Amino acid sequence: MRPNIPNLRQSSGDFDMFRRPPHDKKPVVLQVLPALVSGGVERGTIDVANALVQAGWDALVISAGGPMVHELTRVGARHIEHPLGSKNPMSWRQNFDWLVDVIHNENVDIVHARSRMPAWIAWRAARKNRVPFVTTFHGRFPDSNPLKKLYNSVMVRGDRVIAISHFIASEIERRFGTGSDKLRIIPRGVNTDLYDPDGVSAERMIKLSREWRLPDGVPVVVLPGRVTRWKGHEVLIEALTRLGDQPVHCIMVGSYDGKESYKAELEEKIAKAGLTASVMFTGPAKDLPCVYKVADVVVSASIDPEPFGRVMIEAQAMGRPIVATDHGGARESVLPGETGFLVKPNDPDALATGIRQALSLNADQRAALSAKAIAHAREHYMTRDMCLRTLSVYEEVLPKSPNAGR
C-alpha cells in the first residue's frame, strides 16, 4: 500500500505556487507539539513553518518552549508557549478551553498535531471550531493493551494522516485500518545546504579532530543517536570486539541526559572489552555535518525498527557509507551495496561484517558509493520536497476551513 503523493521538485520559487492573491486572507496553520528542545519532530515543525512563511502563509506553533524556539521565530513563524502536552488530567479541560479560544481568535484554518497528548486537546478544539485537523505519525507507538491503542488512535483521527515512511504507513493501515483516502506518505527531509560534503572546510575538520583527539591513520566509526537502549550502542560495542586486528576509533555522538546510568553501564562494558582508549561519548554535536565528514563509516545499530531514520539520510547526503540494521525505515532509504550496507538487527557479528565491508572499500569504490549516496539523498529526501508535500496536504483540507474565506 503506497498512496500517491505529488512528485514536486525543487526550484528557487517552489513555495510561490501556494501563495494567495494579495486581497485574500493569509491561511493560518497551527502546529502543536510538546516542546521545542531537539529531535526530528521539532526539526520538521520548524522546516514546515519556514515553508509556510515563504509561501506567504501565517505559521503559528504552540509548545512548552525550548532552545529551538529561537530558530522558529528566526524564520518568521510565531510561537505561543503553553504546555499542551501536559499529562496531568487536571489541566486538560483548561487547555481545551484555552486552545478553542486561540483557534478562534487567531482565525486558524488548519490544526496540525505532531504528538499524541497535545493531539487529543487539539483534535477536540479543532472539532469545536470546525477547523480541519491534520496529524503526523512520527513513531511506531506500540499498542501494548487496548487502552494504549485508544490513546494512540488520536493520531489517525485527522482529516489527513501523514506517515513519515512507507513502513509507518503500513503499520497505520494494519493497526487502524486507515486507507489511502486519508493517508499520505511524506518522508522526512535533509537540508542539503547544511549537509553538503563540499561545504565542510578542512579547518572545521581539523578543529573537531583535535578536540576529540582522533588518532592519525585510524578509521573513524560514528554512531549518531541518543544514548538509549534501543539505539543499539551495546551491539556496536560487541561488534567492535569482533573486528579482530582492524583498528578503529568509535565515536558515540548524542545526548545522554537522563540516561547517565545507562551510559555508565556502557562504559563498564567498554572497559571490560579493553576498548576504553578507542571509544568515546561526546554528547550532542554542535557541528553534525562535520562529524559525518570526519567519519569513515556511519552506523545505525537500532534494535527496534527506526520509523524513518534521519541518520541514514544525513550520512548519505554527506557521502559517507552507512551500515544500518535491516528493518523499518532503513529498508526504504538505504540501497544495499550502493549507498550503504544493511545487516541483521541485534547481531554483533553481522554488524562487524558490515563495518568491515565499508572499511574495505578501495578509493574508487568509496568514491562511487559516495556519489551514489549523495545523489540518492538529493533525489528522494530533500527538506524542500518534504515541505512541498506537506503544504500540498494543507491545500487538500483548506477548503473545509470556515476561516479560509475571511
DSSP-assigned states of every residue in 65-129: --TTHHHHHHTT-EEEE--TT---HHHHHHHHHHHHHHHHHTT--EEEE-SHHHHHHHHHHHHHT
Retrieve residue 84's grid coordinates: 499542551
* pLDDT at residue 272 is higher than 70: yes
DSSP label of 406: -
Q: Which residue has 478562534 as its cell numbers?
A: 104
DSSP-assigned states of every residue in 165-196: SHHHHHHHHHHH---TTTEEE----B-TTTS-
* Contact by Cβ (8 Å): 382, 331: no
Answer yes or no: is 6 within a domain. Answer: no
Where residue 13 falls among pLDDT bands split at 50, 70, 90? low
More confident residue, 258 or 335: 335
**Same domain for 241 and 361?**
yes
Can you tell me whether residue 222 is helix, strand or coil?
strand
**Same domain for 216 and 168?**
no
CATH number for the domain including 345?
3.40.50.2000
CA distance 401 to 406: 10
Task: Lay out the sheet containing 160-163: strands in order across.
Answer: 78-81, 58-63, 28-32, 110-113, 133-137, 160-163, 183-185
* pLDDT at residue 142 is higher than 70: yes
Whole-prediction pTM value?
0.89
**Same domain for 87 and 184?**
yes
* Contact by Cβ (8 Å): 229, 256: no
* pLDDT at residue 396 is higher than 80: yes
**Same domain for 163 and 18?**
yes
**Same domain for 220 and 334?**
yes
The pLDDT assigned to 10 comes to 41
Rounded to a whole number of angstroms, the distance between the first and last alpha carbons of the chain is 38
* pLDDT at residue 401 is higher than 90: no
Answer yes or no: is 350 within a domain. Answer: yes
**Same domain for 365 and 246?**
yes
The pLDDT assigned to 55 comes to 96
The pLDDT assigned to 11 comes to 44
Answer yes or no: is 63 within a domain. Answer: yes
What are residue 13's phi and psi, to 5 degrees?
A: -110, 25
Q: pLDDT tens-digit profile of 351-389?
A: 999 999 999 999 999 999 999 999 999 999 999 999 999
**Same domain for 304 and 266?**
yes
Where residue 286 falls among pLDDT bands split at 50, 70, 90? confident
**Same domain for 237 and 355?**
yes
Segment 197-208 shows an average pLDDT of 96
Task: Tell me the Cα Rg of the chain.
Answer: 22
Q: pLDDT tens-digit profile of 110-128?
A: 999 999 999 999 999 999 9
Q: Hey, how many other C-beta atoms are within 10 angstroms of the C-beta on 346?
A: 18
- Of 44, 60, 51, whose CA–CA distance to 16 is shortest? 51
Can you tell me whether residue 390 is helix, strand or coil?
helix
Answer yes or no: is 340 within a domain. Answer: yes
Answer yes or no: is 375 within a domain. Answer: yes
The continuous run of DSSP H or E covering 221 comes out as strand 220-224
Looking at the chain, the whole-number percentage of residues with pLDDT higher than 70 is 96
DSSP-assigned states of every residue in 287-318: -HHHHHHH-SEEEE--SSPPSS-HHHHHHHHT
**Same domain for 178 and 203?**
no
Q: How far is CA 376 from the centre of its chain?
A: 17
Segment 221-248 shows an average pLDDT of 94
**Same domain for 238 and 104?**
no
Mean pLDDT, the chain, integer: 92
The pLDDT assigned to 402 comes to 84
Segment 136-144 shows an average pLDDT of 81
Burial class (CB in 10 A: 0-12, 13-18, 19+), 262: middle
Q: How far is CA 378 from the centre of its chain?
A: 16
CA distance 19 to 43: 23
The pLDDT assigned to 3 comes to 36
* Contact by Cβ (8 Å): 166, 188: no
Looking at the chain, the whole-number percentage of residues with pLDDT higher than 90 is 82
Answer yes or no: is 5 within a domain. Answer: no
CA distance 31 to 54: 16
Phi/psi region, residue 178 (left: phi>0; alpha: psi -120 to 50; beta: rest), is beta
More confident residue, 139 or 187: 187
**Same domain for 386 and 375?**
no
The pLDDT assigned to 405 comes to 62
Q: How many CA atoms lie within 13 A of 38 on its CB side?
A: 9
What are residue 99's phi and psi, to 5 degrees?
A: -70, -35
* pLDDT at residue 235 is higher than 90: yes
Retrieve residue 314's grid coordinates: 544525513
Where residue 9 falls among pLDDT bands split at 50, 70, 90? very low
* Domain membership of residue 307 as a residue range: 197-380
Segment 291-309 shows an average pLDDT of 95
Range from 9-13, 19-23, 245-249, 346-350 that averages highest in pLDDT: 346-350
Q: pLDDT tens-digit profile of 145-201?
A: 889 889 889 999 999 999 999 999 999 999 999 989 999 999 999 999 999 999 999
Answer yes or no: is 184 within a domain. Answer: yes
The pLDDT assigned to 400 comes to 86
Q: pLDDT tens-digit profile of 29-65?
A: 999 999 998 778 899 999 999 999 999 999 999 999 9
Answer yes or no: is 293 within a domain. Answer: yes
**Same domain for 140 and 19?**
yes
Can you tell me whether residue 280 is helix, strand or coil?
strand
CA distance 239 to 354: 10
Number of domains in the chain: 2
* pLDDT at residue 75 is higher than 90: yes
